[in-house]
Amino acid sequence: MAFDRDALLAKLRKLKAMTTAAGCTEAEALRAAEIMGRLLDEHGMSADEITADQYVEEPTDTRRRRRNRVEAVWSVVAWYCDCAMFIQINDDGRHAVYFGVEPRPTIARYLHDIVEDTAAWAIAEFRRGAFYKARRTAKTRKAAVDTFVEGFISGLLRKLALKKSAPINPAIRDAAAAELKRVRSLSPQRALAPLKRAARFDDARAAGASAGYRTEINDGVGQAVPVALIGSD
């Protein structure tokens, strides 16, 4: 019979916490240790698994009916916060869920909201500009925005790489990705086709890169989450 691993781990951790130092009698502590040992044996688990990192999911409120290139920002956020990310699709649309050991997913959630808002603001500003308005067809206007977004992501990536206070740790991300694969059955997402590079859109790419790089990520003393201000020097 299948068992709920997470529920079992929660029970084992409660049993492990029942010690004389925590206020239990010696008899209660011994009984808890016996039950814990029996459960570990029954399920072929080791005591190390009880103290292993506890992974959490942190869903976001961003929901889209269709895929677009801004979603690439989500992977950048996961990279910066050393956690994994998957896209959940429900009746409300598509949204990112960050997965990892706390506080990484919580920080990713806040940074996600900041970057999403910044990207939306930057795209709106770009659409009000002369370059976008000079495009004469819906197709070329879409290409201009897509190129701007591509530039925005590259600029943001450069800024985050500079602002990262601790080295990016691929081992932590790989561990989160492996655990995510173990606990969830996820269908692979086909990547959007890469943009064809056209010199006439170079100004859009440069404008996007500038906007992305100007996103200021401040890890202030005493702050639990990053704060971003676009256009700050």
Question: 41 and 64 share a domain?
Answer: no
pLDDT tens for each residue of 23-38: 888 888 888 888 888 8
Question: 23 and 107 share a domain?
Answer: no
Which ranges in the chain belong to alpha helices (H)?
5-17, 26-42, 72-80, 104-127, 130-133, 138-163, 170-183, 202-213
Nearest to 63 by CA among 95, 91, 88, 89: 95
CB atoms within 10 A of CB 33: 14
Q: Which domain covers residue 209, as residue numbers?
A: 55-230
Calculate the average pLDDT of the chain: 82
Of residues 126 and 33, more confidence is placed in 126
Q: What is the pLDDT of residue 53?
A: 65
- 138-163 vs 202-213: helix axis angle to the nearest 10? 30
**How many domains does one find in the chain?**
2
Question: 11 and 108 share a domain?
Answer: no
Question: 13 and 72 share a domain?
Answer: no
Question: 40 and 63 share a domain?
Answer: no
Q: What is the pLDDT of residue 99?
A: 94
Question: 160 and 191 share a domain?
Answer: yes
Question: 163 and 70 share a domain?
Answer: yes
Question: 41 and 120 share a domain?
Answer: no
Question: 114 and 20 share a domain?
Answer: no
Q: What is the pLDDT of residue 221?
A: 24
Question: 201 and 185 share a domain?
Answer: yes
Question: 26 and 77 share a domain?
Answer: no
pLDDT tens for each residue of 87-110: 988 888 888 999 998 888 998 998
Q: Which residues contact 91 (CB under 8 A, 6 or more apart)?
A: none
pLDDT band (50, 70, 90) for residue 129: very high
